[in-house]
Structure 1
Amino acid sequence: MGATADGKKELVAVLDGYREGEQSWSELSLDLKHRGLTIDPKVAVGDGALGSRAALRKIYPAACEQRCWVHKTANVLNKMPKSVQPKAKGNLHETWQAETKANPKEAFDAFFEKYQARYSQACDCLKKGRSVLLTFYDFPAEHRSHLRTTNPIESTFATIRLRQRKTKRSGSRRASLAMMVKLAESASKKWRRLNSHETIIHAIEGRSFKDGIMQEEIAA
């Protein structure tokens, strides 16, 4: 899924791969480039799969990375007892709901101080990819809800997975891909436009944003 300069979400590719490895993601990225996406995207949001990140850095090196907070939160909480998860989830929400980038850093430190001794694996998980969890602060504040998560893609594939379970057998590889493309195209008709789409052009132009607010350009 991609977004155009006017804020319209578009289905850009559907490709089968092997365990989300770098080779599979490279094939998808190269396919996009060959079909016209020659300019690096401004930001790519993903679930943290190492293969996708490695491919992105090679093929679209200028693209910024943003890690999905929904996936990261789930991964962290899975390493904690269920009795602790509700409170820990609230603590994690304090990081990405803050207005400025300085506050999440304080929330990170508070989380580590609170849980490191007993739940070191959860804290180690949170530390991984920390640098790309806060990228959204460098883009318009109106777009934060879009940039913090891959949920729009996940909800689309939930429809595809449901159909696959119902049919039980999807047939050949070609038939499976055709089914997925048709279902994704159908789902894309309900995708809504990005919030405050008129500000996207400023990001495309390379304007600088701090804590979601566009900075004034200094004349030479």
Structure 2
Amino acid sequence: MNGQGQKELIALEDGFRESTESWLDLLRSLRDRGIVPPKLVIGDGALGFWSAVAEVFPEARHQRCWFHKMGNVLDKLPKSQQAKAKSMLQEIWMAATRKEAYQAFDTFIAEYEAKYPKATECLKKDKDALLTFYDFPAEHWVHIRTTNPIESTFATVRNRTYKVKGAFSSKTIVTMAFKLIQSAQKLWIRLRGFHHLDNVIRGVPFKDGKLVEKENNLAINEQSKQDAA
């Protein structure tokens, strides 16, 4: 993402079933090219990805994708329970504060743990990583709670490459994927509240989506000093 909040493709490589080694190759390449270590990484439950992130960018915060997590939890419930459960899950990530999200989280666990422990365990194991977004600007939440901003692009790439699977070399397939993503990138929605990016990069804390007031004053004072200089 650039300074104006525009999302950009920065790396694309072929790999083996999202293995740790494949992700390590890609992330090390980014690091060696001088990328600024990310403050937040968003992804689904692919273990290879998270292991690689932890090794290459150990300071990065983790946000698990709510779209994927909801699908995984609902798959462990009977269809008769899924509509109600989906609504209860939405109450967690739509809560205005982390405290309210925890309350909704506990309500869901209390409702389903006795009869459907696999569903509740699936949710509980990533509790903290599902709620990391509360430490970032509220305007960013719609962009960082899920991997949805790129899922439609990935679906297009999968559909096009599947049709020619086995007909071309890996290099040709990667080139095709790059062209498809490059085209789709023009339609990616700019980050809301991108003016907050400077504070995020500098590590100024946010709580429940709002700039912490004490740190806000420090940031203003620091900016005033820079302006005076």
Shorter-chain TM-score tier = over 0.9
Aligned to 2:119: 122
AA aligned opposite 2:181: A
- SS in structure 1 opposite 2:37? coil
Contact 1:140/1:199 (<8 A) preserved = yes
Q: Which stretches of structure 1, 4 residues or more, deviate above 4 A after TM superposition?
A: none
Query: How far 1:100 moved relative to its partner?
Result: 0.4
CA distance in 2, matches of 1:171, 1:152: 28
1:186 has 2:186 as partner? no
CA distance in 2, matches of 1:112, 1:192: 35
Q: Percent identity at matched positions?
A: 49
Aligned to 2:30: 32
Contact 2:88/2:104 (<8 A) preserved = yes
Aligned to 2:81: 84
CA distance in 2, matches of 1:212, 1:23: 35
User: Greater helix share, 1 or 2?
Assistant: 2
CA distance in 2, matches of 1:170, 1:64: 40
CA distance in 2, matches of 1:5, 1:204: 11
Aligned to 2:156: 159
Query: How far 1:166 moved relative to its partner?
Result: 3.8
Give deviations 1:157-180, integer Å, cap 9, x for gaps.
111122124445441111111111
AA aligned opposite 2:7: K
CA distance in 1, matches of 2:15, 2:91: 36
AA aligned opposite 2:38: P
- SS in structure 1 opposite 2:42? strand
State TM-score, norm by structure 1. 0.94
CA distance in 2, matches of 1:160, 1:208: 37
Aligned to 2:138: 141
State TM-score, norm by structure 2. 0.90
- SS in structure 2 opposite 1:10? coil
- SS in structure 2 opposite 1:30? helix
RMSD of aligned alpha carbons: 1.3
AA aligned opposite 1:73: M
1:206 has 2:203 as partner? yes
Structure 2, gaps ≥5 residues long: 219-229
